[in-house]
Structure 1
Amino acid sequence: MVRLLIVTDAWHPQVNGVVRSLERVGQHLSGRGYDVHYLTPDAFWTMPLPTYPEIRLSLATRAAVSEHIVRAAPDYIHIATEGPLGLAARHACLALDLTFSTSYHTRFPEYVAARLPVPLEWSYAYLRWFHEAAAVTMAPTPSAIDDLRMHGFSRLALWSRGVDTSRFAPGPKSCFAGLPGPHMLYVGRVAVEKNIEAFLQLDLPGTKIVVGDGPQREQLERNYSEAVFLGKKTGSDLTALYQSADVFVFPSRTDTFGNVLIEALACGVPVAAYPVMGPRDVLTDPASGALDEDLGRAVTRALGLSRLAAYKHSLNFTWDRAADQFAANLHPAAAPLRIVA
């Protein structure tokens, strides 16, 4: 049996696209005969990330991570994140002369710049240094690959995402009774980099509904009392909220993909978004969503689109296809790394 070790700083109790993507690809590869192991902060002492207590930063030493890798004896190693655990695994693999792949999930430089006066190029310099040691760096969309190339990255490959259609599917409107329509829904982390205020500031009839939690929630609830904030939802509760929406609004300008986009589409909900990385790669069929620099205009157009067309477009995103891409990008850990730009 082929042994795959995935190293990730992002893990439960976090609820985000990185965790879901790593879990889903692991499940699909396990069904194909891979013996998938995860090295996560759960294996070490951790500390909470300031302003994000649900994110636990690993305090693992390089020696401890190296010991885990040697004990796992993997045929393939994938380092999924650039945090403390990923950094320790990178050093360990280089010391052990093991080849590994990496992935790029988050526009970390833009996220940092939204909070701190750190120049984008400083953050991109760290990311280039981190990923240049990998045999290949996987990115979720063609736009993300183009953007990384523009910032000096090489050896890039596509690893897209899928949607679980057994969980996310069209259904009846069972929520929002008594709230004036149309019902405009946002799902995701409630944080400054998600640009949620651009959604909440729209002067449109209906009700704006925010599902999710995060450091900006208290401030937004205070400033936009007319909006409905429901907190974090999962399972069938989340599915019912998607199914009950008339339009899904995705105001982020910094996401590399946006798993929530295809979850909404799978529930038959047209999407409104800016024409930026992520949405422009997902909403390639104009019948499924509207892209516009005027987000209000995008919402108005999306409200007139077919729910059936949105659902049909979601079927292009399967975890089987994503797992195929991921597996094809892996490099044997014991093979010498021959870097070809």
Structure 2
Amino acid sequence: MQSPSPRFGADSLRDFARNLLAAAGMPDDKADAVAGILVQGDLMGHTTHGLQLLAPYLRDIDAGSMRVDGGPQVVADAPAALTWDGRRLPGPWLVLQAMEAAAERARTMGTCTVVIRRSHHIASLASYHLRATEQGLLLLLACSDPNASSVAPFGGLDPVFTPNPLSAGIPAPGLPIVTDISTSTTTNGLTNRLQQEGGKLPAPWLIDGEGRPSDDPGVLFREPKGTILPLGGLDSGHKGYGLSLLVEALTGGLAGHGRADPKEGWGATVLLQVMDPQRFAGSEAFLRQTGELVRQCHASRPARAGRPVRLPGEQGFALAETQRREGVALHPGIVDALRPWAEKLRVEIPGALA
């Protein structure tokens, strides 16, 4: 029987991550932003996109493929549209900076879109939305990584895309509605973890190099290499394929930098759009509509007894609240992966809660 995952105080994990990043040379404001976003991912249960990313982030800082000094370069600046070259700076810090800029302009113009090329990886998209919805703002966020490919177009065997997530934070009375959807059946983070652990996926979300469906993540690592299926799988993967193309256009297309350019290393091309409902029909009218949507969804008779309909984000917010009280359950192996960095950078690892 597998032992339970160790639990740690959320604040102590945030301090630990911040101290490691700072010791690696990242300025305090950037280290604080990255640490906060990573721990938020673990709080909400996105364990492949939380502190599991910290060791590879530190590796890239050490190798010089994540830059830590300075800010983004402005490529284009129109009243409601900004284009930044992220200069391979930390992704979470860049996204938070872009959110601030977009929110300020959206309050005047109703909306503002920021696209960022040459960002480093941006972690879990769901980790950002609460910061916008708490201000009554609607946030759309999408990203791709033109430096990698693991998802084939529908009907093909050769990969073109990354999982290309598309997410939204929608203000509503009470909890916001937060979606974070990969346009593929699963993510690189999960398949990499399962491959290392010898595990299997819940369903045949992959195809091997001969086009046969598989639940074995090993097919992604053996020759001829398989690929992750688009969202919808073998039956309706044309839908995920279409969404993947949309994300590529919104990120690489608008940013003018993507799969047509030389690879630079693990990173992201990002689209971020903030909308202020007050500048449209008004915030009160917006919340009236989203509130009714929430009511009707909750009122829908459950297909399975004892499992009422939830809104996207509810489970993650409930888990985050529990883990703030009882400690964050880190996936086994995360602390072990960070231990060599803690020793190298002379940062104390927080103790697990009793």
Query: What is the TM-score normalised by the length of structure 2?
Result: 0.28
Query: Of the two structures, which has the highest relative contact order with CA contacts closer than 8 Å and spacing of 6 or more?
Result: 2
Query: What is the TM-score normalised by the length of structure 1?
Result: 0.29
Going by fraction, where is helix more abundant, 1 or 2? 2
